[in-house]
């Protein structure tokens, strides 16, 4: 399980340090892809396989399902963690998440998310204001 929030920077070559607490669960390589809310999602290989199986069941006769599958899979790439704990993020994904310098790497249960720091700060501020309301609307879930 991934949890926590870590500040890192992406360098001019597109390399980003993966927090040491995440490296063991991610192993030597993992899959990153376009995420929702203009961030990147990172999945350990076993979680990626589970997700891939679920997405195979989407009804490809529906336009939304086809669009989502194209968006999600076309951006997916396997990345390797080097000896310094870094990954090399492809330029298409850097562009998608607007990763310029400062980044935030989040642990979100079965995946990690990579955000541009300013985008994360804005998202967090906006979401924090409605967190109680969101929690109340989550049917069947008790903290």
What confidence tens digit (pLDDT) does each residue in 10-32 have?
Answer: 999 999 999 999 999 999 999 99
Q: Give me the residue spans of the domains in the chain.
A: 2-137
Q: Are strands 2-9 and 29-34 parallel, antiparallel or unpaired?
A: unpaired
The tens digit of pLDDT for each residue in 19-68 reads 999 999 999 999 999 999 999 999 999 999 999 999 889 898 999 999 99
Looking at domain 2-137, its CATH class is alpha beta
The tens digit of pLDDT for each residue in 125-143 reads 988 888 888 888 876 665 5
CA distances from 69 to 56, 60, 64, 142 (A): 9, 9, 9, 32
d(C-alpha 9, C-alpha 100), whole Å: 8
């Amino acid at each position: 399980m991934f949890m926590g929030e870590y500040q890192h920077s992406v360098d001019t070559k597109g390399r980003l340090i993966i927090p040491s607490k995440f490296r063991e669960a991610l192993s030597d390589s993992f899959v990153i892809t376009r995420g929702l809310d203009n961030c990147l999602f990172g999945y350990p290989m076993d979680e990626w396989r589970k997700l891939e199986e679920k997405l195979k069941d989407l009804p490809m006769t529906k336009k939304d399902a086809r669009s989502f599958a194209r968006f999600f899979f076309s951006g997916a790439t396997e990345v390797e963690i080097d000896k310094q704990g870094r990954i090399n993020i492809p330029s298409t994904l850097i562009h998608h998440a607007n990763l310029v310098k400062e980044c935030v790497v989040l642990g979100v249960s079965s995946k990690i998310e990579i955000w541009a720091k300013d985008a994360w700060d804005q998202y967090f501020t906006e979401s924090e204001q409605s967190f109680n309301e969101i929690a109340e609307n989550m049917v069947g879930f008790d903290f």
